[in-house]
Structure 1
């Protein structure tokens, strides 16, 4: 059987008139009835763009020259923005980015849920659009042809790593150390056996977790420790799965010692987390988001509050500070342990954490039988469609839904409305500036009977 020949793409750039933006931030043009998705182009612009891929129904292109710039265009703050897949909207002004994200949420509500909030709240702006990102997974690859090690994010729409020496959106404790990190890895015996580096930052400390595919020789361990000492970083190794992660600098006194922290001063809370734990990447937006969620729920002393997908207690403990009896539920047992740890750390006795399968009906669990006055839900990208179908069983008057995916929020909002709730208000939060990621928050209230 003969192999299908790959279509040869034209080498010369083509002329594109950009009409609008796709939800992934690419300009949309038309050519002879065919849709063109153009990286790096904005609505109203005329650009020259090189073809990088083609399908039967659409072509994919990358802008090479802007002939007529839109007012929203800006000079990207990063030298690698055109190629690196870590960001996709650096060429767009901050105001335009916010409008794009708000329009995305509006369109998803209309398309998937067929609904609209009674009130749109002003978008929550990030205090910092650069140096904000506290969590990331950096790829590592040795390029034999160049005899060099690359560290960073994948290029846009392919599996190659971008050749960068710094990253302006990462916390500077990490982003300004990409080049020294590359030099460190290049000088190790295991230069081609480190698969990735997880990075995590707390308020006072930052950590790197090296995924070493083979056991390191003592010389390599010493180099990693020296790097941590020189740059004030905690250094971890991950020889196999997540359970094998362990700290080598500073020397660990046990797993409970391996923690970073962040503060939420409004609630007088210190939150401890392991570098591999899920935490919000943008500390400023997280503080504002927690404030808004607690304010919208309007928790009163003595009320029972449920926090679903509670993680390490990011919302649970602030709600408990308001005097409510709070139950945090999480599918990941490690996070249940971390939540209890943080409750003890902050001397809170009016909060409990439980593990449960949050993809099934848990209304019969012992902790759920008394019902709840208020509910907060912060699900993964897949949303919580099944959960929303039986939340009415708890009798909550108010529900706050925090979302990292506007499509599943809109879908689930439709389910909530069908089950006796009003979508009172909603808005976007710029958790990931310069990207198309849309974080949002919505308030539901039980309809009067």
Structure 2
């Protein structure tokens, strides 16, 4: 008989007063919950894995499914591991730490393939080997919630609790860069000394290869004493400190006065400079492997005419140009386009990349870049996908398309249109584990006309 294990984190959580249930877990949902059935109705169970039998407390239900929390594991899966973080189960930042890392990637790969088939009606001819890297201390960009709690007389820093909008009381974070993830107590002590401790809701962590910047969002003006306290912390810790009184365009360095941030792309001899409020991929190792894969799938050769949409700061366009392509890079954020152009010049590629500003959710019919001829296309859209631009892609008819996605559902939807509506084949697709221990699924797909 298997040894029974109790889940103390689950037992600490108040549950609806209903009799516990026992059920076998058959599958894993995309968000990391186990899926079982009771009286023919699906039950999504937090903390349960396929192959396990669990005792669970019902949290509530809907017409088509119920939700539950694991109380006791009656038969454990061999793929179960002990969560590395003491706050797992309480903090909402991670949902898969109880699965071994290899199974997490397998689950994400299956979620991608299921979405492609179910939503898009497509199956890739080849499944790409997953891109995986370090699973701890990988996150170089994150927004930490901050809250001063008068009843406790101290500041909480971290992420929201898994269930609810309350900020979890965290001592640290195992997926953040250790330089920050192990400094929560020091950060809390710093904020407790500020006069605006009750009006400082967020710290944004942003790291380049050589420097880390902490952006303090504040809803009230800082006193000179506050500023000096922050400067002292910056000098002692080695972090750059910036202030943000409003939107991201209000971010200004406090100390040091100049805070250059950048990351290298060693395979191409390029560097990408960025500002603290800019979008960058949070996992440096996966990004370093993702870019060469995209270029290899596109089969870039010197002289190729490449259109890159949602081009950002040049994460793909700089390597594309270094490989000899003539690149047209289109992005909706004007300030980011200006920084991308500066990056091209700084890397000696200013003559190889044409930059354009355009709202790709409502493309302008008369745009010059829409009237050019292209051999290949790279898409890296936000979570909403690229539905609005797909009709234009159909007219441009590039031979090869690489689609980098952060949402399998919108990728599947767009893949269905490219395959069934525009005459492309989905020749390859696979996942990239950009966010280990979370349910986020990043993927890449290749379409060939």
TM-score class, shorter: over 0.9
C-alpha separation in 1, matches of 2:257 and 2:288: 31
Contact 1:259 1:275 in 2 (8 A): no
The Cα shift of 1:11 comes to 6.5
- Give the counterpart of 1:181 among 182, 187, 196: 187
Match of 1:345 in 2: 346
Change (3 A) 1:187 1:54: farther
Q: How big is each residue's C-alpha offset from its partner over 1:356-389, in whole Å with a ceiling of 9 and x where there is no partner?
A: 1101344531133221111100000110112122
Alignment of 1:37-52 (within 5 A): 37-52=44-59
Residues 13-412 of structure 1: pairs in structure 2 closer than 5 A: 13-126=20-133, 128-252=134-258, 258-348=259-349, 349-362=351-364, 364-412=366-414
* C-alpha contact (below 8 Å) 1:15/1:46 kept by paired residues: yes
Distance in 2, Cα, partners of 1:420 & 1:34: 40
Distance 1:277 1:53 in 2: 40
Please give the TM-score of this superposition, normalised by the length of structure 2: 0.93
Q: Which is worse superposed, 11-20 or 378-387?
A: 11-20
Cα distance in 1 for partners of 2:98, 2:189 equals: 30
Please give the root-mean-square deviation of Cα atoms over the aligned residues, in Å: 1.5
> Deviation of residue 399 (structure 1)?
0.7
Give secondary structure in 2 for the equivalent of 1:214: coil
Alpha-carbon distance in 2 for matches of 1:206, 1:73: 34
The SS at the match of 2:201 is strand
Q: What's the CA shift for 1:55?
A: 3.7
Q: Alignment partner for residue 429 of structure 1, among 414, 418, 432?
A: 432
Deviations 1:174-198 (A, max 9, x none): 1111111111112222121101111
2: CA distance between counterparts of 1:436 and 1:248?
36
- Please tell me whether the aligned partners of residues 234 and 241 of structure 2 are also in contact (alpha carbons under 8 angstroms): yes
CA drift at 1:297: 1.0
Query: How far apart are residue 390 of structure 1 and its match?
Result: 2.5
> How far off its partner does 1:61 sit?
2.3
For residues 179 and 342 of structure 1, the distance between their equivalents in structure 2, rounded to whole angstroms, comes to 37
| TM-superposed deviation, 1:414 | 0.9
Instruction: Please give the secondary structure, in 1, of the residue aligned with 2:267.
Output: helix
In the alignment, the residues of structure 1 paired with residue 143 and residue 274 of structure 2 have an alpha-carbon distance, to the nearest angstrom, of: 17
Contact 2:370 2:392 in 1 (8 A): no
TM-score by length of 1: 0.93
Distance in structure 2 (CA, Å) of the matches to 1:133 and 1:34: 38
SS in 1 for 2:165: coil
Unaligned runs of 5+ in 1: 1-7, 253-257
Aligned CA distance change for structure 1 residues 62 and 142 (closer, same or farther; 3 Å): farther
Give the Cα–Cα distance (whole angstroms) in 1 for the partners of residues 200 and 121 of structure 2: 48
1:250-275 deviations in Å (ceiling 9; x for gaps): 024xxxxx431100011001110001
Q: Distance in 1 between matches of 2:197 and 2:178?
A: 24
Q: Distance in 1 between matches of 2:18 and 2:235?
A: 49
Sort the Cα spacing of 1:69 and 1:365 in 2 relative to 1 into closer, same or farther, 3 A. Answer: same
Contact 1:363 1:393 (C-alpha < 8 Å) held by counterparts = no
Q: How far does the alpha carbon of each residue in 1:217-267 deviate from its partner, in whole angstroms, 9 at most, with x for none?
A: 111111111111111111011112222111101024xxxxx4311000110
Structure 2: 5+ residue runs without aligned partners? 1-14
Q: 1:415 to 1:191 in 2, by over 3 A?
A: same
Q: Secondary structure at the match of 1:399?
A: strand
Residue correspondences, number: 433
Shift of 1:304: 1.1
Checking the alignment, whether the CA contact within 8 Å between 1:363 and 1:369 is kept in structure 2 is: no
